[in-house]
Amino acid sequence: MQCASIFYPHTHKLWCFKPNLCITPPPQEEEGTFNVEKSKLITSVSNPFVKHCLKLRNSSSYRRSYASAIVVGATPIREICRFRESLQDGSVLMDCLILPDKADIPDGLDKSTASIVRASSVVMRKLSGLQTTDSLDAIALIKIPASFSNVDCDQKNFQKLFPSAHRILVLDGIQDPGNLGTLLRSAVAFRWDGVFLLPGCCDPFNEKALRASRGASFQLPVVSGSWNHVETLKEEFQMKLLAGHPEHEGLIKPVSLLSPSFCDSLSETPLCLVLGSEGSGLSKKPLQSCELVSIAMAGEYESLNVSVAGGIFLYMLQPKNL
């Protein structure tokens, strides 16, 4: 029986797909090695493959050890595949496509070379975390791209991490995965060049972040590191540092107003935009180092939800004619 294997160089772990057999681990398999075989139908949530998928969904460290994430829904899966195929780098993108029993392969995914596994509605619901699977058409195991990375302590050259750095979004302690995913989605929509995650941000491949981002986590460079790395990035690309911050009494520095004229004045200037969490706001170093910019609002509202405010900033400051 021939076996199509997928090897994970990060961990020396192996997935092996064999046609027309039940999905069970082989006897006396070595620790850290998995043998997952294509099946007509998986019906048990206790299946080893299902347990592996659940760990990918629930554990950030497990996702990173396998360099793989669970993506729910044919639409974001298609968007990710379309984008990654446009890069034409020859890398394997999707390891496995999980479909409801007897369902057709969704349009746009029918030419995928990924192994296809069928699952019962109980298993599909368990894997997706959704209460109902009536509209659930696909789940995929997709490799986390090389564009997602942690900056080394001695990182000096950001050219490899951000091939283009005219507009970089810097997120400071964004812990809510829905907000982070929405900001990533807006960054892709408005043609920003990448996202830098400061300490305290949640995992962009968290299931809720992926749901909110609709696959944007796979479509632009996402780099995590410290504020010192942002300073290095600023120096390397001669970038201006802006930070979204509401204007209020007690600030020791002026706050500029986000306006068309303000944005036009920066159209050719490379910049980093820093957004802080709703609860804690900006941390000390960004607050000291950045020019503060606020969004004019009617009434007595002090601030907007960070994903809403971020969408406005990203739209207003998006690159022009580049």
In tens, the pLDDT along 206-215 reads: 999 999 999 8
Instruction: Pick the more confident residue, 152 or 31.
Output: 152
Distances 284 to 243, 290, 306 between C-alpha atoms, Å? 12, 10, 18
This prediction has a pTM of: 0.82
CATH of the domain at 164: 3.40.1280.10
- Structural domain contains residue 15: yes
- Structural domain contains residue 222: yes
Q: Cβ(187)–Cβ(216) under 8 Å?
A: yes
Distances 291 to 81, 93, 240, 241, 285 between C-alpha atoms, Å? 38, 40, 8, 6, 12
| Res 38: pLDDT | 52
- pLDDT category at 112 given cuts 50, 70, 90 is confident
| Res 246: pLDDT | 84
- The answer to whether residues 195 and 64 belong to one domain is no
- Structural domain contains residue 176: yes
- The answer to whether residues 139 and 172 belong to one domain is no
CATH of the domain at 36: 3.30.1330.30
Domain holding 54, by residue range, is 4-143
Phi-psi region of 200 (alpha: psi -120 to 50; beta: other; left: phi over 0): left
Using the predicted structure, report yes or no on whether residue 163 has a pLDDT greater than 50.
Answer: yes
- The answer to whether residues 78 and 163 belong to one domain is no
| Res 153: pLDDT | 65
Instruction: Count Cβ neighbours within 10 Å for each residue of 125-158 and write b for 16 or more, e otherwise.
Output: bbbbeeeebeebbbbbbbbbbebbbebeeebeeb
- Number of domains into which the chain is organized: 2
- Structural domain contains residue 322: no
- The answer to whether residues 163 and 309 belong to one domain is yes
Residue 169: beta bridge partners? 195, 273
Using the predicted structure, report yes or no on whether residue 56 has a pLDDT greater than 80.
Answer: yes
Q: Cβ(72)–Cβ(130) under 8 Å?
A: yes
pLDDT in tens, 235-248: 999 999 999 988 76
- The answer to whether residues 25 and 126 belong to one domain is yes
Q: Which amino acid is at 255?
A: V
- The answer to whether residues 256 and 114 belong to one domain is no
- Give the number of other Cβ atoms within 10 Å of residue 199's Cβ: 11
- Structural domain contains residue 298: yes
- Structural domain contains residue 321: no
Both tokens assigned to 322: 């580049």
List CB contacts of 275: < 8 A, sequence separation 6 or more.
169, 170, 171, 172, 174, 183, 243, 244, 306, 309, 310, 313
| Res 195: pLDDT | 97
Instruction: Pick the more confident residue, 31 or 212.
Output: 212
- The answer to whether residues 53 and 108 belong to one domain is yes
- The answer to whether residues 245 and 213 belong to one domain is yes
- The answer to whether residues 131 and 175 belong to one domain is no
- The answer to whether residues 28 and 139 belong to one domain is yes
Point out the domain boundary residue: 106, 126, 143.
143
Q: Cβ(53)–Cβ(140) under 8 Å?
A: no
Please state, in angstroms and rounded to a whole number, the distance separating the CA atoms of residues 137 and 77: 11
- The answer to whether residues 137 and 196 belong to one domain is no
Point out the domain boundary residue: 99, 122, 143.
143
**Closest alpha carbon to 140 in 195, 181, 95:** 95
Point out the domain boundary residue: 105, 125, 143.
143
Residue 308: beta bridge partners? none
- The answer to whether residues 171 and 198 belong to one domain is yes
pLDDT in tens, 263-303: 999 999 999 999 998 777 899 999 999 999 999 887 666 67
Distances 115 to 19, 68, 92 between C-alpha atoms, Å? 9, 15, 12
